[in-house]
Amino acid sequence: MSNVTMKVNGKPVSGDVEGRTLLVDFLRGPLGLTGTHVGCDTSQCGACVVHVNGEAVKACAMFALEAEGAEVRTIEGMAEADGSLGTIQAAFQEHHGLQCGFCTPGMVMSAAALLKDNPKPSEAEIREYLEGNICRCTGYHNIVKAILAASGQDVPAIAAE
């Protein structure tokens, strides 16, 4: 067992972990941050996306010990200071960018990373960026609309592909 220390959603945390403990398991287990989902355990689905030092990572593909000293942000850290929904979360709600909600935390975290790097992405850029996130319910159209809205752009009618 080794001790790991990091900041999660702005708060210092630490805990004892085995070397093989994945970041997603540390977040969900000892820290109780269950918004980060485990979907596939193979880093294919994107349900476990979190930000580590400002970069989007799949928490099922990173050991907790690799986050030693890091700043980690989870979906729970995306809310406003007063607890209300953040801009991206509110856009997902307003534009029905979720159905079952399982992929939503990873989609929101990926959207935040995209908008940090590209504040006004096109529909095509959004779709390309989200290729690492799988949604089995929505067909992605409303997710794309939500991200366009969160970026402050007009939300056109998006044709089915």
Q: Is the per-residue pLDDT at 52 higher than 80?
A: yes
Structural domain containing residue 28: 2-77
H helix or E strand, kind and range, residue 5: strand 2-8
How far is Cα of residue 12 from the mean position of the Cα atoms in its chain?
Answer: 20
Q: How far is CA 51 from CA 5, 56, 76, 106, 135, in A?
A: 16, 4, 12, 10, 20
Please report the pLDDT score of residue 158 as a whole number: 65
Q: At what angle do helices 87-94 and 141-150 cross, to 10 degrees?
A: 140
The overall average pLDDT reported for the chain is 95
> Of the candidates 55, 77, 99, which is a domain's last residue?
77
Which pair of tokens denotes residue 54?
């400002």
- pLDDT, tens digit, 9 for 90 and up, residues 67-119: 999 999 999 999 999 999 999 999 999 999 988 989 999 999 999 999 999 99
- 160 in a domain, yes or no? no
Higher pLDDT, 38 or 156: 38
CATH (domain of 57): 3.10.20.30
